[in-house]
Amino acid sequence: MWRGVIEEYRDYLPVGAKTPVVTLLEGNTPLLPAPRLSERVGARVWLKVEGANPTGSFKDRGMTVAISKAVEDGAKAVVCGSTGNTSASAAAYAARAGLACVVLIPDGYIALGKLAQALVHGARVVQVRANFDRALALVRELAEKEPVTVVNSINPYRIEGQKSGAFEVVDVLGDGPDVHCMPVGNAGNITAYWKGYREYQDAGKLKRLPRMMGFQAAGAAPIVLGHPVEKPETIATAIRIGKPASWYGASAAAAESGGMIEAVTDDAILEAYRFLAKEESVFCEPASAASVAGLVKVGAPPGARVVCVLTGHGLKDPDVAIGQIAVPRAVDADLAAVMEELAL
Ligand code: F0G
């Protein structure tokens, strides 16, 4: 049986025999072949379906390590600022560990499913009239004044856990892919994947390092522009971030691997989002689709092995999903009316 990220990859993680393992059996997510996307871009594409994690996003990989270490270090409470997924994951893992959890979220800019998760798992949720960057700054200030552990990806244990995504890719493919595509927001995840690939290379598990391709939303693309964005805007609220904490890590991953950080428009993100749902049967959230929008934009060498990380589940953001299609109207409960509606 799969034992969760810490037990499966213990040798690569900063945990000891005394670390209390707080896990929801995260990880081991599908690496799904994507035949129609492969045909479209002329490469062999796999989708790393991170929505299959316990709280529906990749954040669980880092949260199992961050919360376990917080318990080991005697913490009583954790705090994070979030565009939604970190708060959902922190709330769930904190509940499991019996820790109090405080989350600061940008007022009106987090997807409904994510807000619901933080609330049902019992976190203290504060909606701040500000964007994510400001919420994270407040979290740092709060942690200086109060005895709380920050579980954003500025906590290095988060990055440690998230690198397990790269291990899983290599464990399935038998080597690194040629190209690795992913969305970039606060830039922790691309930093983590690159660390994971390099550690597996050091361990002799991988011969070929992928080119790391990170994609920001065009309205929230500070790394691409080379300066912070004061008022980031995108439909992909998960990556609506103007001043990424791991800016350096993302730039280094792209530079060292011969990859790039690029921008994709909201239209391209939504096109990829619909394509993934209709053609590959994977319902991911808009931010996740940025990886595929990016691949479609920049292309890949013919026949290259490409992995696109789909970071979160589509059900997290029902408003965007429903906004993409015409909501069906109600008809009378008789067969004639149903058939008329279907134009049969
Ligand atoms: N995709 C999703 C679904 C996310 O929730 C995030 C980040 C990213 C991609 C970008 O990852 O920040 O490591 O570059 N969400 C954070 C949060 C910011 O608060 O949930 P990143």
pLDDT tens digits, one per residue of 312-342:
999 999 999 988 777 888 999 999 999 999 9
Q: Which of 80, 127, 154, 186 to mutate to test the pocket of ligand 1 (most atoms within 8 A of CB)?
A: 186
The pLDDT assigned to 326 comes to 77
The pLDDT assigned to 289 comes to 98
Q: Alpha-carbon distance 34 to 152, whole Å?
A: 32
DSSP 49-79: EGGGSTTSBTHHHHHHHHHHHHHHTT-SEEE
Residues lower than pLDDT 50 in the chain: none
Which atom belonging to ligand 1 lies closest to the Cα atom of 183? 9
The pLDDT assigned to 209 comes to 98
Q: How far is the CA of 296 from the centre of ligand 1 (A)?
A: 21
Q: Alpha-carbon distance 96 to 75, whole Å?
A: 14
The pLDDT assigned to 129 comes to 97
Q: Does ligand 1 lie within 6 Å of residue 183's CB atom?
A: yes
Q: Does ligand 1 lie within 6 Å of residue 280's CB atom?
A: no
Average per-residue pLDDT for the chain: 97
The pLDDT assigned to 314 comes to 98
Which atom belonging to ligand 1 lies closest to the Cα atom of 82? 19
Q: Does ligand 1 lie within 6 Å of residue 285's CB atom?
A: yes
Tell the residue nearest (CA) to atom 11 of ligand 1.
185
The pLDDT assigned to 325 comes to 76
Distance of CA 88 to the CA centre of its chain: 12
Residue 326 DSSP one-character state: P
Structure tokens at 84: 């939604």
Q: Does ligand 1 lie within 6 Å of residue 257's CB atom?
A: no
Smallest Cα–Cα separation from 164: which of 4, 2, 1? 4
Is 183 within 8 Å of 214 (Cβ atoms)?
Answer: yes
Q: How far is the CA of 31 from the centre of ligand 1 (A)?
A: 19
Partners of 211 in the beta sheet?
A: 179
**CB-based contacts of 111, cutoff 8 Å, min separation 6:** 84, 237, 238, 285, 316, 317, 318, 319, 320
Instruction: Tell me which amino acid residue 166 is.
Output: A
pLDDT tens digits, one per residue of 142-160:
999 999 999 999 999 999 9
Q: Does ligand 1 lie within 6 Å of residue 86's CB atom?
A: yes
Q: How far is the CA of 186 from the centre of ligand 1 (A)?
A: 6
Q: Does ligand 1 lie within 6 Å of residue 242's CB atom?
A: no
Q: How far is the CA of 306 from the centre of ligand 1 (A)?
A: 21
The pLDDT assigned to 324 comes to 79
Q: How far is the CA of 311 from the centre of ligand 1 (A)?
A: 8
Tokens 């350096």 -> residue: 248
